[in-house]
Every structure is written in C-alpha cells, then in structure tokens.
Structure 1
C-alpha cells in the first residue's frame, strides 16, 4: 500500500431513494484528467469528484443518466453500473446485465426466508450498454457530460448519447449470448450464483472489452469483446466480427477468480479479480500484457498473466466488507482502488471514504 486518498461526497447528492450513501456501494472508477468518475450500484447516476490541492477528491457533482439516455425503466430502477471507459469523446458505461436472488431476512419466519431464496428478479435498467459525450471545459478544468454536442475533432459532426438496442428484460448482447456454447447455460442464473454477471469495462478505440465476474468455467474467467456501431435510428448495434459473431470471447486462467474491473494501460489491460460467489476471498490485480495487439479470440494461461499484487479485503469480524470493485489508472506506476461495503475505519465523518493508491509498476 502506497497511500490512502480521501473521497469527499456531498450529502445532498449522496443518498439513494432507499437511504444508501454512495460511498457504501462504489462499484467502478475511472479517471479523466483531474476528474474521478464513480458509480454506486443502487442508483441511476454517475458521480464526479475532482482532485484537490491536498491530494483528496471533492467538488462532488452527480449526473442523472436518464437526462442523457432512454432508460428501459423510468422509475429509477438501478442500473447497477459496473464499468466505465472513455474513447473518441465518449464516456462508455455498462450495467451488470445480471439477475438477482433475494436474500433471507432473519426477522421473518423460516418459511418466508426459504421462499425469498426462490425469488429471482431482474432490474430493467441493468441491461444498459451506452455512451455519453464527455468533453473537457477549458475554463473550469472539468470534464462534462452532454446529450449532444459538436465534435471538437471533426467539423460538422456531432457527438450523441446512444445505447445498445434492448428492452426491460434483455439486450441484443444477452440475446446473442443465449445461444453461446459456453455462456448460454448461465444466462438465466443469478449473478451471485456464478451466473452471468458483468463487472468490468475497458475501452480502446472502437473495441470494448467486457469483464465477466461470472460465469467462471473450471477456473477460467471470460472477457467479451464487442464493437458497437450507431445505426440510422441513433441506437447502437453490434458489428459482426471476423468470427461471424457479434462478440469475441477471451478466456483467462485466474485460478477460479472472476473479473471485478478492467482498465486499459497502453497496450495492456489491468484486471481486478476476486471471488465470483458471495464470499470473502483473495482479490488481486493482474496485468494482461499486449491485450490490444491480439486479433482473434485468446486463451491466456495463468503463467502468461502478471500477478501484480493482492488488494486488502474484509474477513473475520469484517467479513463481507472492503470488497474491491473499482480500479482507475492513477498515474504511470499506480492505480486507485475503490471499495464496496467499506469498513468503518475506511469511512471518514458522514460523507467521505478512503480509497487506496497502490503501486503496480516498479
């Protein structure tokens, strides 16, 4: 551990309709200049905080994604944003696309608790894969989001917010995966049961790399690669790739761990990996070297991945806490890690929390 960094939020912008504070559910992190973009798993917003002179992040701003996108559900159903990335003037974001199984509640009868465990639901907004224009305001130094804006790189061209074709129960990505020989059998299984669960996005030009927390197949994690394109209606569809599918599959032997976050670094990808099931376990950062130089589908053995370092996680009395879920490239040698369900010692006051800055390059 090199140092801890304070993330300061604004109380008026931080509470979900159910009362959960944004700092208690951080699920992804991405740095543009001095602006750190974050998401909380129970909201339809993304948050922006900015690097301060003392090294902390503050000046909290919150952006309601319904102002930029046509969300499948208008009732503020959570998007469960699990990945962000940036390329070509767009901030890309992706929901978990996963089903969820209800938890038993101790105060209820045994019969009701058992019944809850049989209840599987979906949140319509989880099936979002979208892009929103993001540009630097030279006057303020902030990156701002837009629904539509002139492209500073191309004359007479506009950047427009858009999302993948989908509805309240699926998208064209999940529809395609239903027939997949590896992933298809897991599409109707809840994410926390080793079912289909997206938890990472890395963007490089037109290529999107989507990390799966589940399924993990005999110890092998999966990264999907897609290339969204805008159609005449202004929505996104998936380009047919050289394998005659709308996606590629890359298999990485993370020895049983699923993917929590992906982040591009030059031609490499950093991978935050941890348990796919709802349990405590080792969380580690890996480096997939030359990932961007590969053309076809890849199968990457464990000794072909650099296991950079482990990340702290809760255990014992703090079981289920300090779950590392977000990874941002901080500088040439460090990454910033944010945590879901932080321990009390990680929280500061009523509205701040500590993130870890760790060294990944000697």
Structure 2
C-alpha cells in the first residue's frame, strides 16, 4: 500500500478550483513550482510556488493567458507536460466533442429523456489545440509568443485506428485526450477514448519538432496499451516508462487505478509473445476522496515530484473537489 499524505495544500485563489484536471511540476531558478489547468477554463493556466514541504501558493504574477478569444468555448485543458531542457510547457486540449447530457437537478425526467435522444453534436473546435508556452528559466515569465498547433484532428481523420471515432462524442467512446507525457523529445498522448476491441487504449507518439510545422506530420506512432478495460485519465513520464492513472471512459464513478507502463506496444501474437515482466504493472488502486458537499472526486492529474530506486513520490489531484484535493503518494516500485 502507498504511504498517503492528505495535508498538501493549495492556497490563493484557484481558477475553477473544483474542476482541476491537469498538473505538472518544474523549477524556476531552483524553486519548485506546479502548474495546474482546468477542463472548464477558457484560457487561464496558473502557477503555484512551493512554500513548504506540503504547501503551494498561487503566484498571480505568473498566471498564463492562452491566446484564445474571451468569447471562445472552453479549451478543455486535460493534460500538461513540461520540458526542462527548453523550459517549455505543453498544454493539451482534449480534442473531444460533446452532446447534451442528463441534468437531474435542472431538468424534469421527461426533459432528460428527450436529451438522451438528441442527435446534435457540438464540435467544440476550441478544444483542438496544443499550446507551447516557453518560460524564462530565471523568472518563470512567458518568453516570446505562445505557439499553438491545431492539426491533430487531420491526423485522426486519416488514421486507421482513430478515424471511425472522430465524429463520436466523448463519453460515448469518441476521441478524448486526457494524458500527456514528454520523453526523449516526443509527446505521448494518452486517450480516454476510444477504447478499441480487446480493451486496447491508444497512445499517440509525436515528435515535438513537428509542432513547429503548420502541416500535419506524416510520421507518428500509435501504441496500444491494455489497462484491464479502463481508459487513460492522465499519464506522466518516469525512468524507463510512464505512470498512468486509469479510470472509466464514460461518467462512471470508478474504479481508478495507478499503473506503470514501459512504453511498448501491447499487441502480441505468435511471432511476438507477451514479455516477462509484463509491459504494464498494476501499482495501486485509487480510492477518490469525498468532498464536503458529498461529491466524489475523479482522479484526473498526476505529476512525479521525485523518483528513487525503490519508489515514486507523486502528487495526484481530483476533479469535482475544491482545489483538486491534492494528495502526496509514496508509491513502491
């Protein structure tokens, strides 16, 4: 079992504090910082500086405003990764679509039944972006213009694994990116949906250098991982692989689990037997906390603060609970 500390605190005003869905950590001039984003945010990303071993405070001077219109729909920030070499934040929109959902507290039962028959799909084009935010290493201020890439949907439309899901809403097994990790100058995009037959979850691998091109790249990888039927809710790079928060593809309350994945494709055959040790190792079950209003949290973000030969020290945040209810986990390898 992990050693779990629940006394990590975020102080200051967190934007959309009950909807945190993305987190990463880095240093500014030797001082530890976190960056957090919300899936309900239109264009704000916040930085928090460490004030104690288990406390972080919002640094209002370093708030990032992404270059989208104030009238834009939500960007649906679901994942963030940081490159220490270039001091660049990669901020990922979910690239998902949606349709009307049941609203038990706002609609009558009859109205909700009608909503379940609705065929209109909202394309939510503001979600179809990857932002590159370069920071000044000494101050943490944004350096130069914030870059953005919007060609991923073009790649999906031509990809044999993904193209049949491109017009399906998220939560209905449509495309929904919720994991992002950086390793060896490549971005690993983890999908909440779709889950393919055989419970294979796609992970797209793209070269960071391709983000500087206006045209979609011709070369990329789709690796497939199995998480016992679950989807990717977030992922982060560690030595020799990745940590993955696995959870429901849809709106089910759970279960949530934490896995190690070595990064290799998990489609096997008579010419490629299953390896030992396996490519994926179940590390822990995650029991989401309950908020003061009775709402159950959804494990949505993970960042590794430190790694040793025997354990990971990771911070996990939860959607649907104030300030993400940050938890510090010591996880045995």
Report the TM range for the smaller structure's normalisation.
0.7 to 0.9
Selected match of 1:27 from 21, 35, 39: 21
Whether 1:306 and 2:308 are equivalent positions in the alignment is: no
Selected match of 1:181 from 157, 160, 163: 160
Deviations 1:87-110 (A, max 9, x none): 223111110000112223344345
Distance in 2 (CA, whole Å) between partners of 1:237 and 1:161 is 18
TM-score, scaled relative to structure 2: 0.83
Q: Which runs of 5+ in 1 are unaligned?
A: 16-21, 149-159, 167-171, 242-246
Deviations 1:287-319 (A, max 9, x none): 112x3xx6xx6637694212111111269x998
State the SS of the aligned residue for 1:330.
strand
Distance in 1 (CA, whole Å) between partners of 2:109 and 2:58 is 47
- Residue pairs, 1:1-362, within 5 angstroms: 1-11=3-13, 14-15=14-15, 22-33=16-27, 34-43=32-41, 44-53=43-52, 55-61=54-60, 63-66=63-66, 69=67, 71=68, 73-87=69-83, 88-106=86-104, 107-117=106-116, 118=118, 119-137=120-138, 143-146=140-143, 148=144, 160-164=145-149, 166=150, 172-217=151-196, 218-229=198-209, 236-241=214-219, 247-289=220-262, 291=263, 299=267, 303-313=278-288, 321-332=296-307, 333-342=312-321, 347=322, 352=323, 354-362=325-333
Q: Which runs of 5+ in 2 are unaligned?
A: 269-273
Pairwise CA RMSD: 2.7
Give yes or no for contact 1:330–1:357 (8 Å, CA) kept in 2: no
Query: 1:46/1:254 Cα in 2 relative to 1: closer, same or farther (>3 Å)?
Result: same
Give yes or no for contact 2:204–2:221 (8 Å, CA) kept in 1: yes
Give yes or no for contact 1:98–1:198 (8 Å, CA) kept in 2: yes
Kindly state the Cα deviation for residue 236 of structure 1 after the two structures are TM-superposed: 4.5
Query: 1:225/1:320 Cα in 2 relative to 1: closer, same or farther (>3 Å)?
Result: farther
Give yes or no for contact 1:220–1:252 (8 Å, CA) kept in 2: yes
Give yes or no for contact 2:248–2:256 (8 Å, CA) kept in 1: yes
Deviations 1:244-297 (A, max 9, x none): xxx2111111111100111111231111111101102221111112x3xx6xx6
State the SS of the aligned residue for 1:252.
strand
Kindly state the Cα deviation for residue 209 of structure 1 after the two structures are TM-superposed: 0.4
TM-score, scaled relative to structure 1: 0.77
The total of aligned residue pairs comes to: 307
Query: 1:145/1:128 Cα in 2 relative to 1: closer, same or farther (>3 Å)?
Result: same
State the SS of the aligned residue for 2:21.
strand
